[in-house]
Structure 1
Amino acid sequence: VWLGPWPLAVFSLLLGVLLFALPWLGARGDLVHDYALRAVAVHSPSFGVVFVLLAGWLLLRGRGELRRIAVAGLLGVVAANALFTLTLWRDYDLRRLSTLLAQAQTHGVAIGNIGMYEGQYHFLGRLQKPIAALENGAALNAWLNAHPTGWVLAYPSTLDADARRYALYAQRFRGVWVVLWPARTLAALRAGHEPPAGSSPALVVPGAGDATPH
């Protein structure tokens, strides 16, 4: 059964209304636990206009329904991609961090990664040496003690005061944070000691959702 442009028009209209509502929901505190929606809310009203207009265009009477559906679908995909690029893309862009790691490896710095590693830094930074796979616990402590000049990548859900003060670098990544630690500093913090003097505050790259109240 040919339903015409109605299903796509209704979907586009509902999506547009949701995008309009996101800043209001964020101001009410309803998005406090959803970083992705907070990030999208920064630019969502403008794109809400786009999807509402597409819905209205789809519902115009006359010939050419199939063509309108095809064009509206294409424009909707372009708009969705543009919204993602403006808001969430920065949280997936690891080029700066990958470059830091590549430069460190050329100077002989050992690098470890706490948790699962999927090769993203090797691809973007063209790393030539492996990154050690680490797990929290005694094995991590042993690695830190064996590589006091090394660097360690960790992925906490929040960025605490110690990370802001003592880490080398931090940025949003897939809804959490990726934090780059000097091994000696992380070892001291894990042991409950004050990190070595001379540490500079971390270079923190916030995500789009961190610009909104939460």
Structure 2
Amino acid sequence: MRIVIFGATGMVGQAVLDTCLRDQQVTDVLVIGRTPTGRVHPKLRELHHTDFTDFTAIQDQLAGYDACFFCLGISAVGMSEADYRVVTYDFTLAAARALLDANPDLTFTYVSGAGTDGSGKSRMMWARVKGETENALLELTPRAFMFRPAFILPLPGTKAKTKSYALLYRVLTPLYPVLRRIAPRYVTTSVQFGHAMLRTARGGVKRGVLDTADINELAASATP
């Protein structure tokens, strides 16, 4: 398989990239981003791109891929809805359209989040915008998958870019064994998350919107 990853320098993206590089069925990984990952691997190629609303300049380099794992995201704290929509909706849909133009059968797996609202009725701005993004992707292609994780235990040595998230993970990570016992449907690990993403690329996944319990089930059925 040949995989494209967005957001590979974030906490989730780092784990997904690591999983792809370790997987024997993945032959090539293209990371598209503004910041280098710092990784060196025979499978890995990085493409520097700054305008995530327009991929025309690199369109000729997007063909020949089987799946895209879109892990790019930003906290809505302190942002206006208009600015948050640009990053969350506009960036995602521009990437999906460019990749699907080049690869009509591409699997597009999007990292959303628990609490995302596809009905547009939520009072939480981020939930509405993410829900709108999910709906647009599901209409764009039948091979779109929305991952809605709650708590993800990160890989050792990885950390969230957003300070509030980093603090939250520092507090909750030591409590992971307890959380797993009392709320197993709401916790996963970054390793499980990466395997579940690859599972969507292999085909046969019928549900388009997947919560943490679904993600763990996919990971368990995946072939490392």
TM-score (normalised: structure 1): 0.30
Write 1 or 2 for the structure with the bigger share of helix. 1
Write 1 or 2 for the structure with the bigger share of strand. 2
TM-score (normalised: structure 2): 0.29
